[in-house]
């Protein structure tokens, strides 16, 4: 019997039959996987066999907050959303924040597993342990903000929290996201999985309290955590007042703010147009996730031209995707494009990268006005960029070609377009030009979700933080060890418990596992040591890798786009840098060695057994991997 | 004389009144001479941040200002003793986070 942190139940919903069952959250599961991504990946591995159609009824969509979620812990209202990704074919795992994750706990659940496919559009209403299937015919076609409001009105409670899809998810675009409030489980096409199941939304309301094993100890652990947060030199006031847009300036200075589909990184100065002051001048307020004292989300109002009045929270990644990547120096158009992405339910990174990709093809003459519906799609053309966003969302004209991401688009276009497609395993690259930040490069190459900065962010390279060791961002030696450390610590201390990853680099770079063990032990009564916490990170990463291996991924998929491997940066703070094929190979060799995997990147039987992953070991052995 | 491009962000750019400028120095100058010139130019506000620069690997960096010369953190070079050359680029990275 679990004493605290867990609600004790996992809700399993079958959309085909419109039935649901409740299962117990076991101590074995809690102890070995904590929650969040750990739970999600464990269910995915056990229940979604190799070769499952990601957009078919047999894929599962899992929502999993963690034990800290919904408690008095700061910054813990996060949840993992997990499915096989239609974009990559690998594990699709995103985390999202806001209020929905805490509400799911209050409704009584540690996880929600969605199976099957509804015959016609519906939404799920989870009300304090009662589940109903409600018709969504009238909601189908609405944008994500209207959808949330319409459901609240229909159910007569404005405090209901809703995760839903927009038109992009309904149309099963592989870059579709799931939106709750103004937050997104943005990447890897999880919105398409939901759309393919004919599930428009999940509405949740609950009034239960998350139990705490040892109230007094938890209070003290929480005080220690808050104290460390207060001591951070960045969290307050800089990050709380500015949020992620400050990274625009840092990456510019380091020469790694990707520009014009990564063809001109270091050659453009975005500081005046897209930097902190420009962002501050559009700021009208702040938003925060449940029980977060930081409130990093900066609400911005577009103030000029056709974008005037558009409201959104563009994070650094969005400013990169619609700004640097497309060469657009118009912040108002970026705010408006971000807003559209949220309304359509689509990933702003993948959308912006796809547009920048198309712009380069247009400038190189690989595509022409005949392909782009008559639009002059040059870099820097903010109106063209903005208009293309809704065309992608509705899969109209040229937009339809980009709606499944750059890998698919390049394959359809042919003419060697893949050369300009910036992705790994099908997932578009986030906003750090890895040629000047090599651990980022190795992380993009090896992350179990594809090019994902969130699965092993190398904060050492960007912010100069010397934990666990000092790091020269241009060197490739040591990056295998560092990448393993970053991936495991992030999984263990952020993606599973769950906790906002911003705290990892800003408050806990040196003692994340200790803080996590401290919080989880007093909350759950399970007595986690820091070493056990770190091992859980390793376990989850290995299980995710085993899922991908079972799907046929090998070393050759741990790759980087050709441009990264062949074109040195021409200007700026990382001038001359690139990652040669030989360097990438050496980094991969080191990484696999550190992970205890074979030279082909397959987890060894011994490694899987050491981590208690017997069935993964068995399955890989069966397939002769 | 040599010319060195100096880049900065946030609080340091506020002290400099710009995020990019070119400073001229005598041939053979080291990074420390550049800091002297900047201190002379900007006075006390710059002196206050000078102590916060991360200079040696052995130091406890509780989120100091990282200084880069041609993209490389100076802790991997000769710290403030590093020789400057014409056309070099120096970047002051204030503590930031949240990528
Ligand atoms: S720091 Fe930002 S993202 Fe993290 S929990 Fe707080 S508001 Fe949410």
Q: What is the pLDDT of residue B60?
A: 64
Q: Find which of A228, A250, A279, A570 to mutate to test the B interface (most B CBs within 10 Å of its CB).
A: A250
Q: What is the pLDDT of residue A470?
A: 86
Across the A:B interface, residue pairs with CB atoms under 8 Å apart total 111
Query: Which among B72, B89, B98 has the least Cβ separation from residue A243?
Result: B98
The three-class DSSP label of residue A307 is helix
Cα–Cα dist A28/B37, whole Å: 63
Ligand 1: lining residues by beta carbon, under 6 Å: A 75, 97, 288-289, 292, 294-297, 500, 502
Domains of chain A: 9-205 (3.60.9.10), 243-411 (1.10.569.10), 434-560+580-622 (1.10.599.10)
Q: What is the pLDDT of residue A464?
A: 80
**Comparing A144-148, A237-241, A466-470, B53-57, which segment has the lowest mean pLDDT?**
B53-57
What are the C-alpha distances in Å from B80 to residues A441, B56, B63, B84? Answer: 29, 9, 18, 10
**Cβ-based neighbours of A588, under 8 Å, separated by 6 or more:** A442, A445, A446, A480, A555, A558, A601
Distance A85 CA to ligand 1 centre (A): 25
**Other beta carbons within 10 Å of A344:** 29
Taking the Cβ of residue A473 and every Cβ of chain B, the question of whether any pair is shorter than 8 Å is answered with yes
Kindly report the nearest CA distance between residue A238 and chain B, in angstroms: 8
Question: Mean pLDDT, to the nearest integer, of A533-561?
Answer: 98
Cα–Cα dist A166/A144, whole Å: 5
Q: What is the pLDDT of residue B61?
A: 60
Cα–Cα dist A535/A611, whole Å: 8
pLDDT digits (tens, 9 = 90+) for A310-366: 999 999 999 999 999 999 999 999 999 999 999 999 999 999 999 999 999 999 999
Q: List strand residue ranges (DSSP E) for chain B, in order.
A: 2-8, 20-25, 66-69, 72-73, 89-93
Cα–Cα dist B57/B44, whole Å: 27
What are the C-alpha distances in Å from A347 to residues A313, A323, A408? Answer: 13, 15, 16
Kindly report the nearest CA distance between residue A607 and chain B, in angstroms: 32
Kindly report the nearest CA distance between residue B11 and chain A, in angstroms: 10
Cα–Cα dist A60/A48, whole Å: 7
Q: Find which of A451, A486, A573, A578 to mutate to test the B interface (most B CBs within 10 Å of its CB).
A: A573
Please report which confidence band the pLDDT of residue B81 belongs to, taking 50, 70 and 90 as the band edges. very high
State which of A500, A503, A507 you would mutate to test the pocket of ligand 1, scoring each by most atoms of that ligand within 8 A of its C-beta. Answer: A500
Chain B residue numbers touching A239 (CB-CB < 8 A): 97-98
- A12: pLDDT strictly greater than 80: yes
pLDDT digits (tens, 9 = 90+) for A206-250: 999 999 999 999 999 999 999 999 999 899 999 999 999 999 999
Dihedral sign from CA coordinates of A134, A136, A142, A144: positive
Report the percentage of chain A scoring pLDDT > 70.
100
Report the percentage of chain A scoring pLDDT > 90.
97
Question: Mean pLDDT, to the nearest integer, of A1-10?
Answer: 96
Dihedral sign from CA coordinates of A77, A81, A87, A89: positive
Length of chain B in residues, anyone?
A: 99
Our measurement of the distance from residue A595's CA atom to the centroid of its chain's CA atoms, rounded to an integer in Å, reads 23
What are the C-alpha distances in Å from A605 to residues A260, A483, A546? Answer: 44, 22, 11
Given the DSSP bridges, would you call strands A9-14 and A111-115 parallel, antiparallel or unpaired?
parallel
Query: Residue with the nearest Cα to atom 5 of ligand 1?
Result: A75
Tell me the three-class secondary structure of A91-156, residue by residue.
EEEEEECCCHHHHHHHCCCCEEEEECCCCCCEEEEEECCEEEEEECCCCCCCCHHHHHHHHHHHHC
Kindly report the nearest CA distance between residue A132 and chain B, in angstroms: 39
pLDDT digits (tens, 9 = 90+) for A109-123: 999 999 999 999 999
Q: What is the pLDDT of residue A552?
A: 98
Q: What is the pLDDT of residue A466?
A: 85
Average pLDDT of chain A? 97
Q: List strand residue ranges (DSSP E) for A242-316, in order.
A: 283-287, 297-301, 311-312
Cβ proximity of B95 and B65 under 8 Å: yes
- A145: pLDDT strictly greater than 80: yes
- A77: pLDDT strictly greater than 80: yes
Q: Where are the domains of chain B?
A: 2-93
Q: What is the pLDDT of residue B55?
A: 78
Cβ proximity of A583 and A606 under 8 Å: no
Chain B residue numbers touching A266 (CB-CB < 8 A): none
Please report which confidence band the pLDDT of residue A134 belongs to, taking 50, 70 and 90 as the band edges. very high
- A442: pLDDT strictly greater than 90: yes
State which of A98, A501, A502 you would mutate to test the pocket of ligand 1, scoring each by most atoms of that ligand within 8 A of its C-beta. Answer: A502
Tell me the three-class secondary structure of A199-239, residue by residue.
EEEEEEECCCCCCCCCHHHHHHHHHHHHHHHHHCCCHHHHH
Q: Do A275 and B63 touch (CB under 8 A)?
A: no
Q: Do A463 and B66 touch (CB under 8 A)?
A: yes
Cite the DSSP H helix spans in A422-529: 438-446, 459-463, 479-490, 502-506, 512-524
Distance A184 CA to ligand 1 centre (A): 13
- Regarding pTM above 0.95, the answer is yes
- A153: pLDDT strictly greater than 90: yes
Ligand 1, residue A288: give the atom nearest the CA. 7
**Cβ-based neighbours of A34, under 8 Å, separated by 6 or more:** A66, A67, A492, A496, A497, A520, A536
Question: Mean pLDDT, to the nearest integer, of A62-69?
Answer: 98
Given the DSSP bridges, would you call strands A199-205 and A183-185 parallel, antiparallel or unpaired?
unpaired
Kindly report the nearest CA distance between residue A210 and chain B, in angstroms: 29
Question: Mean pLDDT, to the nearest integer, of B85-90?
Answer: 98
Q: Do A505 and B96 touch (CB under 8 A)?
A: no
Cα–Cα dist B24/A540, whole Å: 54
* Domain topology for B2-93: Ubiquitin-like (UB roll) (3.10.20)
pLDDT digits (tens, 9 = 90+) for B2-57: 999 999 999 999 999 999 999 999 999 999 999 999 999 999 999 999 988 987 77
Q: Is the peptide bond before A237 cis (omega within 30 degrees of 0)?
A: yes
What are the residues of chain B with a beta carbon less than 8 Å away from any beta carbon of chain A? 7-10, 13, 19-20, 54, 57, 61-64, 66, 68, 70-73, 75-76, 89, 91-93, 95-99
What are the C-alpha distances in Å from A495 to residues A37, A414, A438, A482, A541? Answer: 5, 38, 23, 18, 11
Query: Residue with the nearest Cα to atom 8 of ligand 1?
Result: A289
SS3 content of chain B, % helix, strand, coil (to 5): 30, 30, 40
Burial class (CB in 10 A: 0-12, 13-18, 19+), A117: middle
pLDDT digits (tens, 9 = 90+) for A583-610: 999 999 999 999 999 999 999 999 999 9
Question: Mean pLDDT, to the nearest integer, of A387-416?
Answer: 98
Which residue in chain B has the smallest CA separation from A470? B57
Q: Do A247 and B19 touch (CB under 8 A)?
A: no
Taking the Cβ of residue A459 and every Cβ of chain B, the question of whether any pair is shorter than 8 Å is answered with yes
Q: What is the pLDDT of residue A233?
A: 86
Cα–Cα dist A17/A26, whole Å: 26
Which residue in chain B has the smallest CA separation from A574? B71
**Cβ-based neighbours of A413, under 8 Å, separated by 6 or more:** A361, A366, A367, A401
């Amino acid at each position: 019997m679990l004493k605290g942190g867990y609600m004790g139940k996992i809700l399993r919903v079958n959309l085909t039959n419109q039935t649901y069952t409740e299962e117990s959250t076991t101590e074995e599961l809690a102890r070995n996987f904590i929650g969040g991504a750990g739970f999600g990946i464990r269910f995915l591995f056990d229940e979604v066999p190799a070769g499952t159609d990601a957009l078919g009824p047999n894929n599962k969509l899992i929502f999993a907050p963690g034990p800290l979620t919904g408690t008095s812990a700061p910054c813990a209202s996060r949840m993992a959303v997990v499915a096989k990704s239609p974009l990559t074919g690998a594990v699709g795992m995103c985390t999202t924040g806001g209020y929905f994750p805490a509400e799911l706990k209050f409704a009584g659940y540690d996880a929600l597993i969605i199976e099957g496919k509804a015959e016609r559009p519906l939404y799920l209403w989870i009300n304090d342990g009662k589940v109903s299937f409600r018709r969504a015919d009238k909601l189908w076609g609405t944008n994500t903000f209207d959808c949330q409001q319409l459901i609240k009105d229909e159910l007569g409670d404005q405090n209901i929290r809703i995760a839903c899809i927009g038109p992009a998810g309904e149309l099963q675009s592989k870059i579709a996201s799931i939106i709750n409030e103004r937050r997104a489980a943005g990447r890897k096409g999880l919105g398409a999985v939901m759309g393919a199941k004919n599930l428009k939304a999940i509405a949740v309301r609950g009034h239960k309290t998350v139990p705490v094993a040892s109230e007094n100890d938890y209070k003290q652990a929480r005080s220690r955590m808050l104290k460390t947060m207060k001591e951070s030199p960045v969290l307050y006031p800089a990050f709380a007042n500015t949020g992620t847009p400050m990274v625009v300036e840092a990456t510019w200075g380091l020469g790694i703010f990707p520009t014009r589909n990564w063809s001109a990184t270091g050659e453009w100065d975005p500081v005046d147009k897209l930097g902190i002051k420009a962002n501050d001048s559009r700021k009208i307020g702040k938003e925060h996730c449940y029980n977060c004292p930081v409130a990093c989300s900066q609400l911005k109002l577009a103030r000029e031209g056709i974008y005037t009045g558009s409201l959104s929270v563009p994070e650094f990644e969005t400013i990169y995707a619609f700004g640097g990547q497309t060469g657009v120096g118009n912040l108002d158009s970026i705010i408006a494009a971000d807003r559209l992405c949220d309304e359509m339910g689509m990933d702003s990174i993948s959308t912006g990268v796809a547009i920048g990709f198309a712009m380069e093809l247009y400038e190189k003459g690989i595509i022409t006005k005949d392909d782009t519906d008559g639009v002059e799609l040059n870099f820097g053309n903010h109106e063209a960029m903005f208009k293309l966003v809704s065309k992608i969302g509705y899969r109209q004209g040229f937009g339809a070609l980009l709606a499944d991401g750059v890998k698919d688009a390049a394959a359809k276009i042919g003419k060697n377009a893949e050369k300009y497609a910036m992705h790994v395993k099908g997932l578009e690259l986030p906003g750090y030009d890895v040629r000047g930040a090599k651990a980022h490069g190795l992380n993009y190459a090896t992350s179990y979700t594809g090019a994902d900065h969130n699965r092993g962010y190398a904060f050492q390279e960007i912010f100069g933080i010397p934990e666990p060791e000092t790091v020269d961002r241009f060197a490739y030696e040591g990056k295998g060890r560092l990448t393993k450390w970053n991936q495991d610590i992030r999984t263990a201390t952020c993606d599973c418990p769950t906790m906002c990853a911003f705290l990892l680099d800003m408050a806990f770079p040196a003692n994340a596992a200790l803080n996590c063990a401290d919080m989880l032990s007093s909350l759950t009564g399970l007595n986690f040591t820091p070493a056990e916490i770190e091992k859980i990170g390793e376990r989850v990463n290995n299980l995710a890798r085993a899922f991908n291996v079972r799907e046929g991924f090998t070393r050759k998929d741990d790759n980087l786009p050709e441009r990264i491997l062949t074109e040195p940066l021409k200007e700026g703070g990382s001038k001359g840098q690139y990652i040669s094929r030989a360097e990438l190979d050496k980094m991969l060799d080191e990484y696999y060695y550190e992970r205890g995997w074979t030279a082909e990147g397959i987890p060894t039987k011994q490694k899987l057994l050491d981590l208690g992953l017997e069935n993964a070991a068995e399955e890989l052995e069966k397939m002769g991997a | 004389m040599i010319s060195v491009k100096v880049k900065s962000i946030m609080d340091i750019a506020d002290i400099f009144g710009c995020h990019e400028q070119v400073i001229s120095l005598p041939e053979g100058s080291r990074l420390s001479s550049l800091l002297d010139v900047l201190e002379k130019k900007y006075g006390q506000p710059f002196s206050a941040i000078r102590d916060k620069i991360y200079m040696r690997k052995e130091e406890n960096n509780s989120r100091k200002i990282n200084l880069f010369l041609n993209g490389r953190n100076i802790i991997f070079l000769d710290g403030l003793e590093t020789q400057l050359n014409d056309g070099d680029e120096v970047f002051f990275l204030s503590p930031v986070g949240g990528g």
